[in-house]
Structure 1
Amino acid sequence: MAKQVTAQIKLQCPGGQATPAPPVGPALGAHGVNIGMFVKQFNDRTADNKGMMLPVVITVYSDRSFEFAIKSPPAAILLKQAVGIPIEKKKGGELLPAEEKAKKTGKYKGFKVSQKQLLEIAAKKQKDLNARDLDHAARIIAGTARSMGLTVEG
């Protein structure tokens, strides 16, 4: 008899530093998942990306077992890293009011990203993007860079 999927949980956790504290504990505890086992497995698999926020999709089955897939870091974080912008920490899923969001768009004017950097980021993210090839993935990343206010060279 096949296992039945009861839930899919999407979280962002710091690589190699996940803890049973919120948001991980409450999200998994509500579905009866062994939180300590998830934290240990996640930290082991993400030790090389220590501290970087990584999206993770956890599939919970009817017998309370689970599987998880780790996605590549968000393009905005990889772009900030490439051009040397410090990455600010956000308070857990806190959303900004619309007017504050509008003020923040394009706030990284003056920073430049090269075509080589775009290709490197696209190569990291290609499996998570809906792109037919590396050039197409690089164009998607370039669009993200422009929306952040970065200047795309080349």
Structure 2
Amino acid sequence: MTSKAKAVTATIRLVIPAGGAKPSPPVGPALGQAGLKIMDFCKDFNAKTAEYKDSVPVPVVITAFADKSFKYVMKTPPASYFIKKAAGLESGSQKPGHQHVAAVSLKHLYEIALVKQKDTPLAPVESVVRSLMGTCRSMGVKVVARPEDA
């Protein structure tokens, strides 16, 4: 059995709003430098993210090959996005560690961890929750035991 692996020429990481891939920056220049067909990516990405809300940030890892073809993997939105939505915030604290701007319950973090675990399926849910607690701390969001305490 012989298998020909395509030669990878570039790996591009972008965060694009769902349904918002356009040939303008940051998508256009990043794909153009790798010699990829920008409109093919934009149409495919926008079709795959059509069911998402418009402002949801979607991290994408694009692998460009020597024959000008590409493949891409969409990740789940950043943890900070989910935490801000759960806490009802626009942004985190200006002084994290000194000032709490909101609170989220462990139940909310567990629900977020179940979604985020899709990016790292081998990590146990408890580890993902601990990581989310660290993200909350760095954003100035207090973690409480019960939803009523939030």
Which category of TM-score, normalised to the shorter sequence, fits these structures? 0.7 to 0.9
Say if 2:46 is the partner of 1:56.
no
Aligned to 1:70: 74
Deviates more, 1:107-116 or 1:10-19: 107-116
CA distance in 1, matches of 2:105, 2:122: 20
CA distance in 1, matches of 2:50, 2:106: 29
Q: CA offset at residue 129 of structure 1?
A: 4.2
The 3 A distance-change label for structure 1 pair 129 and 108 is farther
Deviates more, 1:122-131 or 1:22-31: 122-131
Aligned to 1:109: 100
CA distance in 2, matches of 1:21, 1:120: 35
The 3 A distance-change label for structure 1 pair 37 and 25 is same
What is the TM-score with the length of structure 1 in the denominator?
0.83
Segments of structure 1 that go 5 or more residues without pairing to the other structure are: 89-102
**Contact 1:105/1:149 (8 A) holds in 2:** yes
Structure label with greater radius of gyration: 2
Q: What is the aligned residue count?
A: 140
Segments of structure 2 that go 5 or more residues without pairing to the other structure are: 146-150
Aligned to 1:3: 6
Say if 2:42 is the partner of 1:39.
yes
What is the TM-score with the length of structure 2 in the denominator?
0.85
Taking every aligned residue pair, what percent have the same amino acid on both sides? 44
Runs of 4+ in 1 over 6 A off after TM superposition: none
Please state which structure has a larger fraction of its residues in helix: 1
Aligned with residue 118 of structure 2, among 124, 127, 131: 127
CA distance in 1, matches of 2:67, 2:99: 47
Q: CA offset at residue 134 of structure 1?
A: 1.0
Aligned with residue 143 of structure 2, among 127, 147, 152: 152
Say if 2:18 is the partner of 1:15.
yes
Q: CA offset at residue 18 of structure 1?
A: 1.2
SS of 2:5 mapped into structure 1: coil
The 3 A distance-change label for structure 1 pair 37 and 87 is farther
Give the alignment's Cα RMSD to 1 decimal: 2.0
One-letter amino acid of the structure 2 residue matched with residue 141 of structure 1: L
**1:49-86 C-alpha deviation (Å, 9 max, x unpaired):** 22211110000001000000011111111100111112
Q: CA offset at residue 142 of structure 1?
A: 1.0
